[in-house]
């Protein structure tokens, strides 16, 4: 009997990870802002054309930095998609922000830019958008909405590193954007993240917040004689050991993205007719978007069909998962005023979505196995 077992995700070593890790030990600097952190900053700044990149301990922490940088205080409202990760919102709720949940588009499952304007009030202080699966939101409209009301756009770009919207990198449209290097993301160091600062006004304070509320960054550059406690802050610098691992992954970005694209395209090609028979839908990537190939998802015909398919795949030892329970209907969302029917698309999609294994080290044989198990399922 074939004992092949396909996990949902598997971390991989793609290049110089182990060499760089031992090099950090040899250098004798394994804490934050060392040699490899600087190389990651430089690589991301050069590649993306972002004025300032700061590695952080997680995407969640980078989002917490955003809420502090925007000086949000209790009672301020921020617009979020309801179909999002918990910390996309929680990082702001931590500062007392009232989340205002907006529905998502049926095609890309991204924040519905057409529904944003109606939810803006005199208390609204920002818009947070998430590029679901690494496919860009309708950024022309979102950037224009934010500008019209003189408020910042923040991109939660955890899925979207090296995806593009109208030829331009995701993560370069908002005043601020965040990345995740969690194990499950396209590029990983286990746990980690980054803050991308496109609006230079935030650079100086971001360095201070990240380094315990001190001006140590300026001290290290020789700009001040001593460093002091100058603001609130925390300790959001990842160890240089993690940056060493991450640099090796970022250096192999073309190979990683090419592999993910191949796997994604094969799912799309092989599953098309099958999905049509089932009344299921494959992901939509608009012509003006280049995906980062982070997620391959299916929208099944019904919740029951989705759950049957999960069981069927489980019997074939394939782990497929779903996610994003609509945030406005979670206990915290309800406490913030969320009600069933507020975001009908998010509610519907959440009950029918399924994500297939998609990771750099997924082998052709493993994907054959996943595809065979799927094609065997007839509804
Ligand atoms: C993974 C993820 C996060 C959180 O990332 P961490 O680095 O684990 O904090 C935030 N937002 C989205 C959309 C994510 O997918």
Q: Quickly count: other Cβ atoms within 10 Å of residue 341's Cβ.
A: 9
Tokens found for residue 318: 């394939």
Q: Are strands 353-355 and 297-299 parallel, antiparallel or unpaired?
A: antiparallel
User: Is the model's pLDDT at 99 over the cut of 50?
Assistant: yes
User: Is the model's pLDDT at 53 over the cut of 70?
Assistant: yes
SS3 154: strand
Q: Are strands 176-180 and 193-197 parallel, antiparallel or unpaired?
A: antiparallel
Q: Determine the atom of ligand 1 nearest the C-alpha atom of 130.
A: 13
Q: pLDDT of 323-375, one tens digit each?
A: 999 999 999 999 999 999 999 999 999 999 999 999 999 999 999 999 999 99
User: Is the model's pLDDT at 87 over the cut of 80?
Assistant: yes
State percent of the chain over pLDDT 90: 99
CATH 3.40.640.10 at 17-251, yes or no? yes
User: Is the model's pLDDT at 85 over the cut of 80?
Assistant: yes
Distance CA 8, CA 370 (A): 11
Q: pLDDT of 215-269, one tens digit each?
A: 999 999 999 999 999 999 999 999 999 999 999 999 999 999 999 999 999 999 9
For the domain made up of 253-320+356-376, the CATH class stated in words is: alpha beta
Whose C-alpha lies nearest to ligand 1, atom 2?
158
To the nearest whole number, what is the mean pLDDT of the chain? 97
Distance CA 306, CA 352 (A): 6
How much is the pLDDT for 4? 75
Return the best residue to mutate from 84, 160, 177, 182 for the ligand 1 pocket (most ligand atoms within 8 A of CB): 182
Tokens found for residue 271: 């599953």
Whose C-alpha lies nearest to ligand 1, atom 5?
59
Distance CA 155, CA 196 (A): 9
C-alpha 29 to ligand 1 mean position (Å): 27
SS3 141: helix
Is residue 92 within 8 A of residue 71, CB to CB? The reply is: no
C-alpha 59 to ligand 1 mean position (Å): 5
Listed by start position, the domains of the chain span 17-251, 253-320+356-376
User: Is the model's pLDDT at 2 over the cut of 60?
Assistant: no
Q: Checking phi first, is residue 12 left (phi over 0); if not, alpha (psi -120 to 50) or beta?
A: beta
Q: Checking phi first, is residue 150 left (phi over 0); if not, alpha (psi -120 to 50) or beta?
A: left
Q: Determine the atom of ligand 1 nearest the C-alpha atom of 132.
A: 13
Ligand 1 — pocket residues by CB below 6 A?
A: 58-60, 85, 87-88, 130, 156, 158-159, 180, 182, 193
Distance CA 196, CA 178 (A): 6
C-alpha 58 to ligand 1 mean position (Å): 8
Q: What's this model's pTM, rounded to 2 decimal places?
A: 0.97
Distance CA 319, CA 5 (A): 8
Distance CA 186, CA 190 (A): 11
């Amino acid at each position: 009997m074939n004992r092949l077992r396909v996990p949902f995700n598997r971390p991989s070593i793609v290049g110089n990870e182990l060499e760089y890790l031992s090099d950090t030990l040899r250098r004798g600097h394994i804490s934050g802002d060392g040699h490899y952190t600087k190389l990651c900053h430089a690589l991301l700044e050069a590649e993306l054309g972002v004025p300032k990149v700061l590695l952080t301990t997680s995407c969640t922490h980078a989002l917490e930095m955003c809420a502090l940088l925007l000086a949000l205080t209790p009672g301020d409202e921020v617009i979020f998609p309801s179909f999002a990760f918990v910390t996309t919102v929680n990082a702001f709720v931590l500062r007392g922000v009232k989340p205002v949940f907006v529905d998502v588009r049926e095609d890309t499952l991204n924040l519905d830019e057409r529904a944003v304007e109606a939810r803006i009030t005199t208390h609204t202080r920002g818009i947070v958008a998430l590029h679901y699966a690494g496919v860009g939101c309708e950024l022309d409209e979102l950037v224009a909405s934010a500008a019209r009301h003189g408020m910042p756009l923040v991109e939660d770009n955890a899925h979207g590193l090296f995806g593009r919207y109208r030829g331009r990198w995701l993560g370069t449209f908002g005043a601020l954007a965040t990345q995740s290097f969690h194990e499950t993301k396209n590029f990983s160091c286990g746990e980690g993240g980054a803050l991308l600062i496109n609006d230079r006004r935030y650079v100086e304070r971001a360095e201070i917040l990240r380094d315990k509320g001190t001006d140590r960054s300026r001290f290290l550059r020789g700009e001040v004689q001593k460093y002091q406690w100058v603001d609130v802050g925390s300790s959001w610098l990842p160890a240089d050991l993690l940056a060493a691992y991450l640099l090796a992954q970022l250096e192999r970005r073309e190979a990683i993205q090419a592999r993910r694209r191949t796997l994604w395209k094969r799912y799309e090609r092989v599953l098309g007719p099958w999905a049509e028979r089932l009344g299921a839908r494959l992901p939509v990537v608009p012509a003006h978007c280049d995906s980062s190939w982070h997620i391959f998802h299916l929208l099944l015909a019904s919740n029951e069909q989705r759950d049957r398919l999960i069981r069927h795949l489980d019997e074939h030892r394939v782990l497929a998962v779903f996610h994003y329970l609509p945030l406005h209907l979670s206990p915290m969302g309800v406490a913030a005023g969320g009600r069933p029917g507020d975001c009908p698309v998010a509610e519907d999609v959440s009950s029918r979505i399924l994500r297939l294994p998609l990771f750099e080290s997924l082998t052709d044989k493993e994907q054959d196995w996943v595809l065979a198990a799927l094609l065997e399922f007839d509804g």
